[in-house]
Amino acid sequence: MNNVYFDNAATTPMRDEVIASMTEVMRKNYGNASSSHSFGRSSKSLIEQSRKTIAQYLNVSAGEIVFTSGGTEADNFVLQSAVKDLGVKHIVTSKIEHHAVLHTIDQIEKEYNITVSYVDVEANGDIDYKHLETLLQTEKKTLVSLMLINNEIGNILDIEHVTNLCKANNALFHSDAVQSIGHYEMDLQALQIDFLAASAHKFHGPKGVGFAFVRKNSGLQPLILGGEQERGLRAGTESVHNIIGMEVALKSAYANMNKETDFIKKLKDYFIDKIVKEIPEVTCNGESGNLDKSTYTLVNICLPIPPKKAAMLLFQLDLKGIACSKGSACQSGSSQNSHVLTEILNDTDLQKPSIRFSFSIYNTKEEVDYVIDVLKAFME
């Protein structure tokens, strides 16, 4: 076995139908969607159809979908405008959010001198909901920003509980749902989320495109200026082929969701059962080993390997053709520990290597067997 890709939480391979649709659009629909001639109108029509399709899956209106370059831009857009334009004076978040949220909030705090509160995180990686309720007891206009599924440990937020707390306390709610969209069905009318971020490359779509869900009449103003695209909320010539690719990827995700979810769940369950059997000292970080409390797409394991030897683990796995991650791909160049694991692990476990393995429909049990055999051999 030469190559095993278990880093699907970082990015996923595109589906064949996504590549085919994008190729077709690049070949035939190359007009600027802002142009008034037939070439432009053709591109504009495709974009608006994609917007309607995505909106239907989320049970929102098409005007509430704003196309962006990905989840990071969507997070920046919402957080910065909420403070600058909506008068938010208090942001509640957690220290285990994606850096797209944490770094943005850090900068906003410096620029606008707002109050930032960090909700406590339980030892299992869950949010302390009682502490969240306490933090919402304020007269300041508040925005809560909590991710739906943690990208490193897979814990699933009780989003219905959070939205109810926010509404009861007149707080706005933003969620980075990058690891959720395309993997779970979501009804944003029922949930009453105010803002949400998504990225196509997490559900077998292209990189460089995503969207923000912005609740109607929110008052949000654009982050990127220079044109009237996206109803004036996001300037810049639309990437038509990427938007179509995202639409097709989401269509395929929903059409195959039950079957593919069942397949990946069984694969994750097989991985956990086998690694616990073969390496009994291994532990799962957060709730990633619990199929009821974490996403079915990933598991984050802590291995009983001495620190000196652990430093070579990812390198050795790469040499064996295995792609995985010590955390978010966005911090792969960092020598520091994962900020998520630093919050939930004790000092002893932090000295051990933790690896995230994330799965897709393109993985197999044979690949799981190979990876675990390589890990066992490395530990001997």
Residues annotated as catalytic are: 330
Q: Are 92 and 172 in contact (CB under 8 A)?
A: no
CB count within 10 Å of CB 20 equals 13
- For residue 325, give Cα distances in angstroms to 40, 328, 358: 42, 7, 9
Instruction: Annotate 48-67 with b (16+ C-beta within 10 A) or e (fewer).
Output: eebbebbbebbebeeebbbb
Question: Of the candidates 26, 58, 340, 67, which has an alpha carbon nearest to the alpha carbon of residue 199?
Answer: 67
- 């476990």: which residue's tokens? 349
DSSP label of 216:
T
Tell me the two tokens of residue 121. 């995180």
| CA 14/CA 204 separation, integer angstroms | 4
Residue 109 CB-density burial (10 A; 0-12 exposed, 13-18 middle, 19+ buried):
middle
DSSP label of 3:
-
| CA 269/CA 255 separation, integer angstroms | 23
| CA 331/CA 94 separation, integer angstroms | 18
Neighbouring C-alpha atoms within 13 Å toward the C-beta of 22: 20
What residues form DSSP beta bridges with 118?
Answer: 93
